[in-house]
């Protein structure tokens, strides 16, 4: 990750007992021994009794579940912290409510000079989708600069004062209205994010604490020039080497390269090691902002098909360059036309450098929401990992929701998780936080309860996609990461659960899998309406989070 190792944890031995351990080593394990940063043993309660001694800390789980820690395979650290601490707009249902929220926030702010930052509005849930104008935002904020990101963070509402600071006149995507997209949105966001290093670090710390409290031991940071500076990336990666215990950062940088030499010069200029030139290198935009590139018109906007930000030739050159260096390349791609461009780019790059180099580099595509059978087959051909966000389907895949509004009947082809698995496409899961919250169990539930029953997958498959698969998609240096077996990293979370069971889309399979003879590890029941409560999160033997109840 970074060039310097993290500060090692003081060596200690901890025995967890009287619970349930999710491990392939023993599906009936109730205890686990952690020696320093490593899982030393898993086994039965009877064996734990003979192992326990006064030299170790013994933690009684009282029936809690101990499981591999989650990997969120797509986050934006600073953006998440800002969203958590800024004006919350997910609940507003009209332009008037939004303006009132801005006015209230501005009146209560301690400083009249700072930018009003807000996040989460979604006009598709409003009875009247009319958005506020720049001038209305000026009046509501008392003249302060305003930047309010849409829930997908692919567009925003800005005030006239911020538009002036960002120099939006004449920039594509920055018309006279309050909403900015594309290049206009990039300029507005960067203008609103001119923050000192201490503020950036504070926002990142806020996001890391939220992740740890939800059982995450690692986060794939999808940095890019249109999102933040290289300083932002450096500060994010520095958490791996710092003295503070935090989830591990798996850093990516989404900048386009046109040759291997150019790619190497980008890597050399960053001042920090990254896993690849991948992540939010945008081929297209989002469904919600109507910037995802589609083969056919948006159902609610005839004549609009989104935006293709990179040509096939540009994407192919980038893939070839990274393949020659043996590093991961990748793109943000959502629409079917965007995916067509990415797949054609793979074909062109393979013709230049050879299919073997393409496969060996382990490229990854982010989102890949709208994919048909042919496209999925082409992804499998090149061993491309898909980093998907189950929360998108949960939020927008239902009857009458965003996908249906924007795409009509095409919504049935969105987020085809089961089809990916069936075709052998490697898949991992994340939140795209702050787009959806850092709630990994909600992601697992979203896979199990996909709005298209044909694309539902089992809780076990989803859990593996949110744990071990996340490490694999990042080509992590330790192949044992993401499992709790002797010799594996001691990175896990402890969960208070109501019930443990096997959950799959097919009830016949579920009824047989719960038979003890099936030796299937159990996961929390996710149909109870309550998510498991995190009691503790540990990464490489270092405690990142504790609720206090674990040792009570």
Residue 290 scores a pLDDT above 60: yes
Residue 4 scores a pLDDT above 50: no
Residue 212 scores a pLDDT above 60: yes
Two tokens, residue 392: 């998108």
CB 386 within 8 A of CB 420: yes
- CATH number of 199-473: 3.40.50.720, 3.40.50.12780, 1.10.3720.10, 3.20.20.140? 3.20.20.140
- Which of 453, 281, 465 shows the shortest CA–CA distance to 385? 465
Mean pLDDT check: name the lowest of 176-180, 493-497, 518-522: 518-522
pLDDT of the residue at 108: 76
| Distance of alpha carbon 105 from alpha carbon 117, whole angstroms | 10
Domain formed by 79-192, architecture: Roll (3.10)
Q: So where are the chain's domains?
A: 13-69+482-497+532-546, 79-192, 199-473
In what order do the strands lie in the sheet containing 38-43?
38-43, 31-35, 13-17, 57-60
**For 151-192, what is each residue's pLDDT tens digit?**
999 899 999 999 999 999 889 888 777 899 989 999 999 998
Q: 150 forms bridges with which residues in the sheet?
A: 121
**For 73-125, what is each residue's pLDDT tens digit?**
999 999 999 999 999 999 999 999 999 999 998 887 654 558 899 999 999 99
521 band by pLDDT with thresholds 50, 70 and 90: confident
| Distance of alpha carbon 6 from alpha carbon 241, whole angstroms | 4
Q: 50 forms bridges with which residues in the sheet?
A: none
pLDDT-above-70 percentage for the chain: 94
**For 524-537, what is each residue's pLDDT tens digit?**
888 877 889 999 99
**For 438-473, what is each residue's pLDDT tens digit?**
999 999 999 999 999 999 999 999 999 999 999 999
Backbone angles phi, psi at 529, to 5 degrees: 90, -10
Q: Which fold has domain 13-69+482-497+532-546?
A: Urease, subunit C; domain 1 (2.30.40)
279 band by pLDDT with thresholds 50, 70 and 90: very high
| Residues 436/70/482/474 CA torsion (nearest 10 deg) | 30
523 band by pLDDT with thresholds 50, 70 and 90: confident
Dmax of the chain from CA atoms? 74
- Looking at the whole model, is its pTM more than 0.85? yes
Residue 245 scores a pLDDT above 90: yes
């Amino acid at each position: 990750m970074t060039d310097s190792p993290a500060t090692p944890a003081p060596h200690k031995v901890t025995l967890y007992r009287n619970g349930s351990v999710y491990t392939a080593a023993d599906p009936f394990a109730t205890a686990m021994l952690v020696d320093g940063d490593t899982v030393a043993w898993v086994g039965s309660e009877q064996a734990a009794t003979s192992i326990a001694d006064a030299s170790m800390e013994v933690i009684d789980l009282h029936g809690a579940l101990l499981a591999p820690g989650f990997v969120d395979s797509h986050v934006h650290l600073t953006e998440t912290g800002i969203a958590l601490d800024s004006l919350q707009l997910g609940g507003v249902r009209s332009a008037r409510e939004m303006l009132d929220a801005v006015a209230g926030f501005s009146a209560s702010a301690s400083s009249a000079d700072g930018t009003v930052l807000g996040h989460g509005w979604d006009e598709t849930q409003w009875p009247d989708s009319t958005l506020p104008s720049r001038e209305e935002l000026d009046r509501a904020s008392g003249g302060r600069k305003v930047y309010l990101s849409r829930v997908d963070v692919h567009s925003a509402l800005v005030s006239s004062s911020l538009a002036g600071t960002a120099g939006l006149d004449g920039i594509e995507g920055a018309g006279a209205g309050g909403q900015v997209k594309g290049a206009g949105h990039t300029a507005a966001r960067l203008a609103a994010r001119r923050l000192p290093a201490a503020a950036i670090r504070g926002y990142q710390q806020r996001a890391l604490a939220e992740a740890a409290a939800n059982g995450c031991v690692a986060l794939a940071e999808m940095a890019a020039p249109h999102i933040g500076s290289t300083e932002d990336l450096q500060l994010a990666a520095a958490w791996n080497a710092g003295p503070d215990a935090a989830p591990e950062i798996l850093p990516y940088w989404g900048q386009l390269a046109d040759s291997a030499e150019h790619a190497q010069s980008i890597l050399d200029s960053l001042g920090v090691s990254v896993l690849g030139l991948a992540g939010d290198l945008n081929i297209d935009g989002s469904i919600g902002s109507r910037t995802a590139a589609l083969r056919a018109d948006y159902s609610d906007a005839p004549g609009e098909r989104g935006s293709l930000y990179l040509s096939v030739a540009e994407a192919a050159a980038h893939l070839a360059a990274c393949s020659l260096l043996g590093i991961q390349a990748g793109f943000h791609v959502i629409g079917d036309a965007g995916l067509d461009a990415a797949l054609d780019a793979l074909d062109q790059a393979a013709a230049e450098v050879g299919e073997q180099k393409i496969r060996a580099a382990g490229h990854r595509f982010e989102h890949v929401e709208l994919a048909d059978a042919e496209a999925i087959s082409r992804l499998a051909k090149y061993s491309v990992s898909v980093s998907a966000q189950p929360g998108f389907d949960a939020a927008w895949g239902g009857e009458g929701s965003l996908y249906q509004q924007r795409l009509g009947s095409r919504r049935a082809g969105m987020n085809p998780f089961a089809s990916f698995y069936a075709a052998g496409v490697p898949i991992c899961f994340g939140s795209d936080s702050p787009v959806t919250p850092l709630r990994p169990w909600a992601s697992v539930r979203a896979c199990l309860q996909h709005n298209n029953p044909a694309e539902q997958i089992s809780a076990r498959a989803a859990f593996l996609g949110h744990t071990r698969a996340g490490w694999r998609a990042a080509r992590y240096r330790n192949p044992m990461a993401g499992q709790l077996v002797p010799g594996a990293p001691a990175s896990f979370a402890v969960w208070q659960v109501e019930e443990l069971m096997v959950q799959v889309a097919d009830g016949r399979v579920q009824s047989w899998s719960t038979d003890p003879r099936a030796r299937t590890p159990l996961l929390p029941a996710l149909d109870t309406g309550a998510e498991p409560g995190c009691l503790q999160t540990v990464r490489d033997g270092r405690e990142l989070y504790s609720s206090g109840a674990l040792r009570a």
